[in-house]
Each structure stands twice: as C-alpha cells, then as structure tokens.
Amino acid sequence: MKKFILMTLLMLFVFAPSAFADIALPKPTPTPVSKQTAKKKGVESRMTVRVGEEGSDTTLYLPRSTYKQLRAEFDEADESDMAAIQTNSTNTIIGGSLMSLALIFGGVWFVRSGKFGGKTAAGLLIFALFGAGATVVFANMAPPSSRKISSDMFSSEVQRFGYASGKIRIVVDNSQEAGNVTLVVSKDKPVEPKVSATPNQ
Amino acid sequence: MQSVKEIGLSSRSATNLSPFVIVVALFFMTCAAFVIGAFPLTLSIVTIFLFAGVHNFVEFRYFLARMPLRWGNSRTYYSIGIGGVFTLTIIYLSIYFASNNFLYGATNYMIFVGVWNTLFLLWLASLLWLRGRQKPRSDYSFAFPVALFVASFAWFLPQYFALSLVYLHPFVALYFFERQLRRTRPEYVKTFHVCLATLPVFLVILWLILGNSPNIATGDFLSWRITQHAGGEILPFVSNKLLVATHVFLETIHYTIWILLMPLIDKKAVPFRLKNIPLFVHKQGFPRIITAVLLLGIVAIVALWFGFAIDYATTRDVYFALAISHVLAEMPFLIKML
C-alpha cells in the first residue's frame, strides 16, 4: 500500500510539470497605446487580408458570431460570462492533474486485471511516457510561422502572395459613432542588412 | 396442465417486431419533431409547464417501487447512493443560490463548479465499483480512472461539460425503459431498438432543416434563459433555434417515456397503485410516510403549475435548480440495473 502511494506521488510529480506548459512566456515591454484602447476588452479573432477583384470595394466581413460577441460587449455583457467561458490556469492545472491520475489508476487497473500480456502493458507504458514528454515539447513550441498581419505585408516580397492572415483583435470604438474602420497593423523590428564578409583590399 | 395462453406467454421472446407500435412511435416522433421544429420556444414553455412536475412525480414513484425495505448486502450501495444525492444537491443549490455572494467571483464560481463536477463523477464511479462487487466475476474498478479522465475535461472545458449533461440526461430515460422492457415486456425489446434507431434520423433531419435558420430573438429574459439553457451562448456558431428545438425534442421523448410508457410496461410504476410499493405494503413498512410523501408530490405539481402561471421565468429557474436532485437520484437506480 505504501509503495502504491509512493509510486502514485512519484508519477504525479513526473507528469505535473506539463501543466506549467500552459503558463505564457514573459511578455515583452508593452508598446504605448491610448488609454481608451487599453481599457477595451475586445474580441479575439482571426483575420485574413486578401486582394479582391479589380474594381471591387474594400470590404470588412464580420462573422455573425464575432458581431454577436461585440454586441454583447457593447451592451455591457456580464464579465462573469466571459470568465466562465475562458479556462484559467487553475482549471488547467487541476485538469492536468486529474488526467495524470486517470492514467496512473488506469494503468494500475490494467496491470491488475491481468487480461493483457506484459508486452502490451510495456508498450502502453512507453507510449504514455512518450506522450507525456511530447506535451512538454509541444506546449512551448512557437506558433507556426504564417503570413502574419504586420508592416511586412506592404513589402513587395509579400504582396506577390496576394494574401496575409493571422491573429487580430476586433474592438468596438466607443469614441466614434461613425467613421472609418481602421486596421492598425503591428510593426516588426527592421531586419539589419547583412554585411559582406569580403575584406577590403 | 398449462393453457395455450400461458405457454404462449412463457415462450415470448425478443425476436418479434410489432409494426403497429413502430408506426405509432414514428408518427408520434414525426409530429413532435415537426411541431417542435416550427415553434421551439413555444413548445419549450408548454412542455415544461405541463409535464415537468408530473414526470418528476412519476420518476419518484418508480424509484419508490424499486427501493427494497431491507437494504441487506446493498446497505453500503444505497447509503452512498442516497447520501450522495442529498450531499451533491445541497452543494449544487448552495453554489446556485449563493452565486451573487461576494465570495463567488467569476473564478471562484468556476472552481466550485469544477469541484462539484469532480465529486459527481467520483460518486458515480463509487457506485459502479460497489455494483461490480455485488455481481460475481465483475470488476468495475475501471470506473475510477474513467471518472478522473472525464473530470479532467470538466475542468478544461467546464461549459461544454455542463452542456453535455443537459443533452445526455434525456437519454437516461431510454436506458431505464430498455432495462424495464427486458424485465416485464421482453417481446417488445427489438421493436424498441428499431424505434430507437430512428431517433438519430429525426435529429439529423432537424439539424438539416434548422441548421441555417436565423436565431431566436432573445430580447426578453425568458427567451434568453431558454436559449442559454440549450447552449446558445456556449455554441454561438450554431443556430440557437436548432439548439432549443433539439433540446425540447429530446426532453419530449424523455417525458413521454416516464409519464406514458413506463406505467404501461410496468404495473409497479402506475402512480396510484400503492400496493406495488414494498415500503408501503410490508408490515414493517412506512405506509403513512409513503402516503404523505406522495401527497406532497401532488401538492408540489400543483404549486409548480401555479408558479409557472404567475411567473414562468423565475419558477423555471427555481425548478431546474431543484431538479438536479432528480437527475442525481436516477443514477443509483440506473447503476443498480446493470
């Protein structure tokens, strides 16, 4: 019994660090934004910018679900609704621990049931260890590179693709009843030109 | 010497289909799907008004008939079962009615809900494990890792877990009905399976017809509450008219089984046949308590109708909060039937 408890705790400590994979990387120094913009919660979404047909109007298509979320914010939706939808880090840690315990107890039941051979059990154990290790690796992996919406899209090297897509934030600008829809793109750090290695003669 | 009729009854099997029953069932489900699909909000209000309290009473009456006078070897099982029902109900109601308390910020509320979900699943696993110990050559201890696994998702995706319970609950009645059919009317089991197989067809047809329908306007509190209950805010990309129609359709099936079909196939479930209740008829039973409880149930049904008539939205909210007890009470009897 003591061995069982000890093994359970050991396995828990082995798998628990993967829960920390959910903790975000340290944020860089925030760029200055207007106070009004900073107070807005906004709605996270994705945006694609593509080149339309010649002579067509520039149009911002807003999905119904995004519009409903924006309308809810405009109508001062209850903050608890948004918090209820988003899982916080406490939920992730407890959920991860419960999943680890499920794997542990499932493994114990599996072995004690004796219905499956030792090779099968060993194979599953190795698979589980690889899977646990993979969560640590993938959890900190950077998002795949994509045609992000930034100042780069205005360079000739990008324009030939005809489109760009990435994460954006849609905000209801309460300071303006009407006016232009504004898309503010993030500015990347300029790439330093490579210096030629040819020595001066 | 056995009569022909007795021989016929004793040799009845589950292999014969009853076309009449299938036609009646299909006709009923078609009418229900059509009317509910056309007027989901209205039918939601009407079905809950008319049948919610009645179905709770019939369910309670059914469980009463199945409760033995002496628990014997099932003492631990029933203790944990009934104790769990009371404990979880009290915790649930505390979370529900005290959610405006200063202790319940949005984050704390989610943690309390997560704890309740975990306790609920572990309670189910305990009942399954105990049931497995009662049956020879059965080991249901796998229930614990499964419960922990499901509980992890209850923490990762709490809203979706809660919504899944809303939609899975109507299917519990189908399981009870099937098990009862096997005991009292086994000749209709195959017919029931055929009718059950048509249920996904009706759901798919509903989804195809209502999938692109515009949302129900939720300008008033009641409409918002009904659509929110069906998952309108959790699944904003799905037409809330479809969600409400699906939920009401499944609940209608649920109510039909409990109110109409269960008493038809099991005489013990007929509400006013008290002689079929062991706790009532046994010389060491509690006839006065049983009578009082059943009368209280009838009073509660009438009170619910009055409440709905006076303030439907508030009564609906209170009813669904209290109704968690009946959802929990189904579990020990459901697992006992395994």
Please check whether residue A185 touches B, CB under 8 A. no
d(CA B119, CA A97): 15
Distance from CA of B143 to the nearest CA of A (A): 9
Whether the pLDDT of residue B24 is over 80: the answer is yes
Query: What does the pLDDT look like over B63-110, one tens digit per residue?
Result: 888 888 888 888 999 999 999 999 999 999 888 877 655 555 666 778
What whole-number distance in Å separates Cα of residue B329 and Cα of residue B16?
A: 34
CB distance from A84 to chain B under 8 Å? yes
Most confidently predicted of A11-15, B6-10, B315-319:
B315-319
Which residue out of B112, B148, B234 would a mutagenesis test of the A interface target, given it has the greatest number of A Cβ atoms within 10 Å? B148
Residue for token pair 């849609």: A170
Which of residues 94 through 123 in chain A touch B, CB cutoff 8 A?
94-99, 101-106, 109, 113
Question: How many Å apart are CA A32 and CA A179, to the nearest integer?
Answer: 23
Put simply, the answer to whether A98 touches B152 (Cβ < 8 Å) is yes
Separation of alpha carbons B128 and B84, rounded Å: 13
Judge whether residue B52 has pLDDT over 90. yes
State how far the alpha carbon of B196 is from the alpha carbons of A59, A96, B261, B320, in Å.
Answer: 49, 37, 14, 27
Among B106, B145, B153, select the one facing A109 at the smallest CB separation. B145
pLDDT of A36 strictly over 60: no
- In angstroms, the CA A175 to CA A183 distance is 16
Which is nearest to B110 in space by CA: B165, B166, B161? B161
- The closest of B188, B225, B235, B154 to B19, measured between CA atoms, is B188
**Structure confidence at residue B56 (pLDDT):** 93
The encoded tokens of residue B162 equal 């809660």
Task: Looking at B98-213, list the stretches that DSSP marks H as alpha helix, in order from N- to C-terminal side.
Answer: 106-134, 143-156, 158-184, 189-210
Token pair 């109110």: residue:
B259
- Least Cα separation, residue A55 to chain B (angstroms): 31
pLDDT for A176 beyond 60: no
Query: For residue range A101-138, what is the model confidence (pLDDT) as tens digits?
Result: 999 998 888 888 776 666 766 776 777 777 667 666 65
Residue A20 has a CB neighbour count (10 Å cut-off) of: 14
Query: Is B149 close to A99, i.e. CB distance below 8 A?
Result: yes
| Chain A positions in Cβ-Cβ contact with residue B237 (cut-off 8 Å) | 65
pLDDT in tens, A140-168: 555 545 455 666 566 665 566 666 677 77
- Residue A87: its chain B contacts at CB < 8 A? 110, 155-158
In angstroms, the CA B76 to CA B133 distance is 11
* pLDDT at res. B243: 94
